[in-house]
Amino acid sequence: MRFDTLIRQATVTTSTHQEVADVGIVNGKIASIGNLGDASAERVIEAEHLHLLPGGIDSQVHFREPGLTHKEDIESGTRAAIHGGITSILEMPNTNPNTTSAERLQEKLDSGAKTAWCHYGFFIGASTENAEDLADLEKLPGTPGVKIFMGSSTGSLLVSDDDDLRRVLRSGRKRCPIHAEDEPRNKERKALLSDNPHPREHPYLRDATSALIATQRILRLSEETGRPVHVLHISTADEIPVIEDAKKRGIGTTMEVLPQHIYFSAPECYDRLGSLAQMNPPIRSEEHRQAILAAVQRGSFDIFGSDHAPHTLEEKSQTYPASPSGMPGVQTLLPVLLTMVHRGWFPLSTVVRMLCENPAKLYGIRGKGHLEVGYDADLVLVDLKQEKVVAKPMLQTKCGWSPYEGDTLTGWPTHVFLNGTLVVENDERIPQRHAEQLEFA
């Protein structure tokens, strides 16, 4: 048999098994996996000593287009993604203007069609103004569904009142990702800012109780309305048992963890990085970090995401709390997770489950996330032993910095495929775009 592309002797890795095998690709899809003997192909890649994974799906990124494109846009954000082995992204609605209507969604989709380097979909933002329209909006092509901000965000994207949350949750059926922080508590605690403010105060002002209160509220409302929710960027030891209990009760709850909340801990990260470590919800103490890692190890978390939220160094240099919260991370998401695999924190199968298979499953992304015959050949070859120091010249994000700068990460993508086409090889990107709008069940 003749293939378009043949990947020879890679360690094929899924969430349930590994095997050294050949993978044949035809017409953009995985056509065969196994010992393909003397099969031929237009392109043959010898992948002995490399691991083959499904392409990563980063289900929480902020690419700042429209309105804030001095710090990122769809072109630069997806370029960073593809260089990091991320083949699909789901982008959040807190742009300027917010993505709260069919027209605003279409504007993003049009931009993606012209400029994106990886596959893309865009969330609709819930607001008090569009609550009754969300059931129709979530069905539009190109969107995985509706994002709810319970903590402050840009424009009108704040739904903090229980009655408004009920209206949003009852308008539609798709799983809702949730930013769960308690806005009234966050506002009250601003008065506790010291006379000489420093970013190390951030996890104190936006404390663990704020996250826990909001998470408890949204789980109660989810159960009441029958609407499944996906609680984003869990940052506290306190929330984990609450969500684990909700899972046991079968109300459809899932949860996300960011590598930042496993890799960094306070106060060290704030002393070393200052406002570059400032994000919402905050990086917290070692006690919280250890609890989060333990929950990953026992399989409680469903998804890894980056929460890629870039700001310029000039913006970040403002005195806290004027400095904005958020950090870039889509390009380093997979290498940081592979570094954790190298350290023995969890197996490679956990990365495949939480970065590839589960995002496709939870958001109904057609053809993506699985290394199986018949699926789209969005694939990434990784060298688990390759070491690189994160440095500015390698970064593709428009903001031009990373909280991991100067750190040595072990495990990097060597080849990235979109629909069977090799688009990045040893960090060199081909100039043609092959990205497509994602399809959602």
User: Which residues in 403-434 are b (16+ Cβ under 10 Å) and which e?
Assistant: bbeebebbbbbbbbbbbbbbbbeeeeeeeebb
* Spatial CA neighbour of 233 closest among 189, 279, 275: 279
Q: Is 307 a catalytic residue?
A: yes
HSE-up (13 A, CA, CB side) for residue 373: 7
With vertex at residue 134, the alpha carbon angle to CA 130 and CA 136, rounded to the nearest 5 degrees, is 125
- H/E segment holding residue 261: helix 260-263
DSSP state at residue 230: E
Residue 164: count of CB within 10 angstroms of its CB: 16
Pairing of strands 254-257, 229-231: parallel
Residues 313/400, Cβ–Cβ less than 8 Å: yes
Q: Residue 9: which H helix or E strand, with range?
A: strand 2-13
Residue among 58, 182, 302, 307 flagged as catalytic: 307
Count Cα neighbours of 251 within 13 Å in the Cβ-side half-sphere.
22
Q: What is the dihedral of CA 188, 189, 195, 197, to 10 degrees?
A: -130
What is the token pair recorded at 276? 């570059």
Q: List, by residue number, the catalytic residues.
A: 307
